[in-house]
């Protein structure tokens, strides 16, 4: 056992508890409640099943037997960040997990993960949702027409929309699994101009006397639109049915509405404008969101 790799699960759990309290004011509430809590659970399990362990190599190997390569890699990244902080704080001599995450190669992502629907496919999905249950039509249209993340659309309130529905401000998010209101994923905001189609949609939803704090999109029985429940009970069966009948090239979740809007927007707007409207950098936009053309027509040259 290398001296620089010495650490026990109990020691690591103690450092992790201190580290996440240090990080708490610096991260989104959902990151603390969801992601950090998941790591804490793995550490509790590790302490029970790996009590004899005294080094980081054994911890890495245990993670690989207990979790997927992708989960192990992400966990080791967090362990390394924790231990680097502990080293800077004088609680450790060095990071015992240094280099471990970089050695792991996670499986390649699903080739459909970043794909966009075509214009025809988008309109088929909207029409199918209209037939399935018109109550959900505005939600689906809004996702396809703005490229909003679902947690951003769920957080949108009428105080974020101007009086004539010609502009809206996107700067908050409310993940359905934590219900913690926070800034958008990258802490970016967008003053989003509404075209005629989007403006008419918002006007159709506008209450006669809207309260500023009232959400634009609400559930049938509550003030909050639970997009995870919608995904499971409505979006997936409807969109999967279209795919099974050969009317879509692939099955994609609600998040693919964002890929679709970004891909289409890049055909009409400069990349810097699309990046601003989507609240990501141009580099991330091209790497993770923009889909390639379905049909490439190569000119003679």
Q: What is the pLDDT of residues 267-299, one digit of tens each?
A: 899 999 999 999 999 988 888 777 766 666 667
| 130 CB-near residues (< 8 Å, 6+ apart) | 137
The pairing of beta strand 167-170 with beta strand 172-173: unpaired
Residue 300 lies in a domain: no
Is the per-residue pLDDT at 133 higher than 70?
yes
Give the pLDDT mean for 35-42.
Answer: 94
Q: For residue 210, what pLDDT is reported? A: 82
Same domain, 169 and 237: yes
* 168 strand-pairing partners: 161, 192
The residue among 57, 79, 103 that closes a domain is 103
Q: Mapping DSSP to helix (H, G, I), strand (E, B) and coil, where does residue 48 land?
A: helix
Categorize the per-residue pLDDT at 105 as very low, low, confident or very high, splitting at 50, 70 and 90. confident
Same domain, 147 and 20: no
Same domain, 214 and 125: yes
Q: For residue 99, what pLDDT is reported? A: 93
Q: For residue 52, what pLDDT is reported? A: 83
- pLDDT cut 90: percent of the chain above it: 74
Structure token pair of residue 91: 């609680």
Q: For residue 2, what pLDDT is reported? A: 59
Same domain, 162 and 259: yes
Same domain, 132 and 256: yes
**CB burial string 215-252: b at 16+ within 10 A, e below:** bbbeeeeeeebbbeebbeebbeebbeebeeeeebeeeb
Q: Mapping DSSP to helix (H, G, I), strand (E, B) and coil, where does residue 288 land?
A: helix
Is the per-residue pLDDT at 13 higher than 80?
yes
What is d(CA 262, CA 53) in angstroms, rounded to the nearest whole number?
48
- Cα atoms in the Cβ-side hemisphere of radius 13 Å centred on 210: 21
Residue 114 lies in a domain: no
Same domain, 140 and 232: yes
Q: For residue 297, what pLDDT is reported? A: 67
The residue among 72, 103, 134 that closes a domain is 103
Same domain, 137 and 176: yes
Give the pLDDT mean for 123-129.
Answer: 98
Residue 191 lies in a domain: yes
Same domain, 235 and 170: yes
Q: When comparing pLDDT for 1 and 211, which is higher?
A: 211
Same domain, 33 and 131: no
Q: For residue 62, what pLDDT is reported? A: 94
| 148 CB-near residues (< 8 Å, 6+ apart) | 142, 156, 170, 258
Q: Position of tokens 């690989």?
A: 64
Q: For residue 4, what pLDDT is reported? A: 74
Same domain, 84 and 149: no
Residue 109 lies in a domain: no
Predicted confidence (pLDDT) per residue in 175-199, tens digit: 888 888 888 888 899 999 999 999 9
How many domains, the chain? 2
The residue among 103, 133, 151 that closes a domain is 103
CATH of the domain at 69: 1.10.150
Q: What share of the chain is helix, strand, coil (3-state, %, to 5)?
A: 55, 5, 40
Q: For residue 140, what pLDDT is reported? A: 98
What is d(CA 267, CA 282) in angstroms, rounded to the nearest whole number?
14
Q: When comparing pLDDT for 293 and 107, which is higher?
A: 107
DSSP secondary structure code for residue 169 in this structure: E
Residue 295 lies in a domain: no
Q: Which domain holds residue 242?
A: 119-289
Same domain, 154 and 254: yes
What is d(CA 276, CA 137) in angstroms, rounded to the nearest whole number?
26
Q: For residue 294, what pLDDT is reported? A: 62
CATH of the domain at 177: 1.10.443.10
What is d(CA 223, CA 98) in angstroms, rounded to the nearest whole number?
46
Q: For residue 186, what pLDDT is reported? A: 83
Alpha helices (H) along the chain: 9-23, 29-30, 37-49, 56-66, 69-88, 100-103, 119-132, 137-146, 150-155, 196-205, 227-230, 236-244, 256-265, 271-278, 282-284
Q: For residue 109, what pLDDT is reported? A: 66
Categorize the per-residue pLDDT at 162 as very low, low, confident or very high, splitting at 50, 70 and 90. very high
Same domain, 198 and 226: yes
Q: For residue 209, what pLDDT is reported? A: 83
Predicted confidence (pLDDT) per residue in 202-261, tens digit: 999 999 888 888 999 999 988 899 999 999 999 999 999 999 999 999 999 999 999 999
Mean pLDDT of the chain: 91
CB 122 within 8 A of CB 291: no
Q: What is the dihedral of CA 74, 76, 81, 85, to 10 degrees?
A: 150
């Amino acid at each position: 056992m290398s001296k620089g790799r010495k650490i026990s699960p109990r020691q690591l759990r103690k450092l992790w508890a201190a580290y996440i309290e240090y990080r708490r004011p610096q991260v989104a509430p959902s990151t603390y409640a969801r992601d950090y809590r998941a790591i804490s659970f793995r550490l509790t399990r590790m302490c029970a099943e790996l009590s004899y362990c005294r080094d980081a190599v054994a911890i890495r190997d245990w993670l690989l037997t207990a979790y997927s390569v992708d989960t192990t890699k992400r966990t080791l990244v967090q362990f390394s960040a924790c231990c680097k902080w502990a080293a800077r704080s004088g609680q450790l001599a060095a990071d015992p997990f240094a280099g471990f995450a970089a050695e792991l190669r996670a499986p390649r992502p699903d080739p459909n993960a970043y794909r966009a629907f075509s214009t025809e496919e988008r309109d088929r999905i909207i029409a199918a949702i209209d037939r399935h249950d018109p109550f959900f039509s505005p939600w689906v249209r809004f996702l396809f027409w703005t490229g909003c993340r679902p947690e951003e659309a769920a957080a949108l309130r009428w105080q974020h929309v101007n009086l004539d529905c010609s502009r809206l401000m996107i700067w908050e998010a409310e993940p359905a699994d934590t219900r913690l209101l926070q800034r958008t994923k990258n802490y970016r905001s967008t003053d989003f101009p509404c075209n005629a189609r989007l403006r008419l949609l918002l006007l159709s939803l506008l209450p006669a006397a809207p309260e500023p704090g009232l959400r634009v999109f609400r559930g049938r029985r509550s003030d909050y639109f639970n997009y995870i429940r919608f995904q499971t009970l409505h979006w997936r069966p409807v969109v999967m049915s279209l795919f099974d009948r050969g009317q879509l090239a692939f099955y994609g979740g609600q998040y693919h509405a964002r890929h679709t809007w970004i891909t289409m927007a890049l055909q009409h707007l400069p990349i810097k404008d699309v990046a601003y409207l989507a609240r990501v950098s141009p580099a991330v936009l091209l790497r993770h969101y923009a889909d390639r053309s379905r049909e490439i027509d190569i000119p003679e040259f």
